């Protein structure tokens, strides 16, 4: 019964999404020397991926960009940011932690049938088992889906972990029947429902839709909930993002 999929700020293929040096430099978050360090690390990660050393590649990505609980992460060191999900907010929004107390209230525990099981927001064991997957490509799977199903790939404009230009780089390498048509497709302005604000920008070919969401980082639904709802509604219902 699958009708389609939506991927938000997703690492589909790390190998083709490693041009962080230029991106960070153009934002002014690193200088020339720091950008060169990032470039060298990313080149090394790409080399590891080419030789199927996925854990080693993931370790570099974690150390330089991902900052998965890593206080020595290079991106944090050079920018001073604790929050790398949105480059306009150096600190994590407090509201991101509100769900922890909410989930542990008796009413919610009873509703989701978890009894007295201890709550944890993350598992290092699970992370360890999935670690290599960070560097493994799922692009061929995505290409297969794009031939048969509706696919939406969207990115927040302000994300540091999965920047929009790097997602576009990855999309340009997907081998599918609509690749040439998509390269030539006109990018359109997507306005808010009231027509007063620019929500983002859209390119569409056949069943494939690519969206940039303005004023949002990695957590698009958190940063722009109304815009996200409009986007998902249009995608599910097949409504146009812009006048045809």
Residue 125 lies in a domain: no
State yes or no: pLDDT of 189 exceeds 70.
yes
Residue 17 lies in a domain: no
Residue 187 lies in a domain: yes
What's the CATH code of the domain at 184? Answer: 3.40.50.12670
Residue 154 lies in a domain: yes
State yes or no: pLDDT of 202 exceeds 90.
yes
Q: Which domain holds residue 225?
A: 139-237
> How many other CB atoms are there within 10 angstroms of residue 174's CB atom?
19
Residue 20 lies in a domain: no
Domains of the chain: total? 1
Tell me if 190 sits within 8 A of 209, measured CB to CB.
Answer: no
Residue 188 lies in a domain: yes
Predicted pLDDT of residue 243: 76
Residue 227 lies in a domain: yes
Predicted pLDDT of residue 25: 98
State yes or no: pLDDT of 69 exceeds 80.
no
Q: What is the pLDDT of residues 84-128, one digit of tens each?
A: 999 999 999 999 889 999 999 999 999 999 999 999 888 889 989
Residue 155 lies in a domain: yes
Predicted pLDDT of residue 244: 67
Nearest to 210 by CA among 163, 162, 147, 168: 168
Q: For all residues of the chain together, what is the average pLDDT?
A: 94
């Amino acid at each position: 019964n699958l009708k389609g999929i939506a991927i938000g700020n997703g690492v589909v293929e790390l190998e083709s999404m490693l041009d962080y040096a230029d991106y960070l430099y153009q934002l002014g978050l690193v200088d020339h020397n720091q950008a060169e360090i990032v470039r060298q690390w990313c080149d090394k990660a790409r080399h590891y991926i080419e030789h199927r050393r996925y854990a080693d590649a993931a370790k570099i990505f974690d150390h330089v960009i991902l900052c998965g609980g890593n206080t020595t992460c290079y991106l944090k060191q050079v920018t001073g940011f604790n929050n790398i999900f949105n480059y306009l907010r150096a600190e994590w929004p407090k509201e991101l932690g509100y769900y922890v107390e909410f989930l542990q209230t008796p009413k919610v525990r009873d509703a989701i049938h978890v009894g007295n099981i201890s709550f944890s927001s993350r598992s290092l064991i699970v992370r360890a088992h999935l670690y290599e997957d960070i560097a493994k490509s799922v692009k061929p799977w995505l290409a297969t889906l794009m031939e048969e199903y509706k696919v939406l790939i969207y990115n927040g404009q302000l994300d540091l972990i999965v920047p929009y230009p790097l997602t576009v780089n990855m999309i340009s390498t997907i081998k599918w029947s609509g690749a040439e048509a998509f390269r030539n497709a006109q990018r359109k302005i997507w306005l808010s429902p009231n027509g007063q604000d620019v929500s983002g920008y859209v390119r569409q070919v056949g069943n494939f839709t690519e969206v940039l969401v303005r004023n949002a980082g990695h957590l698009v639904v958190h940063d722009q909930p109304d815009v996200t709802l409009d986007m998902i509604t249009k995608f599910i219902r097949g409504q146009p993002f812009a006048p045809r």
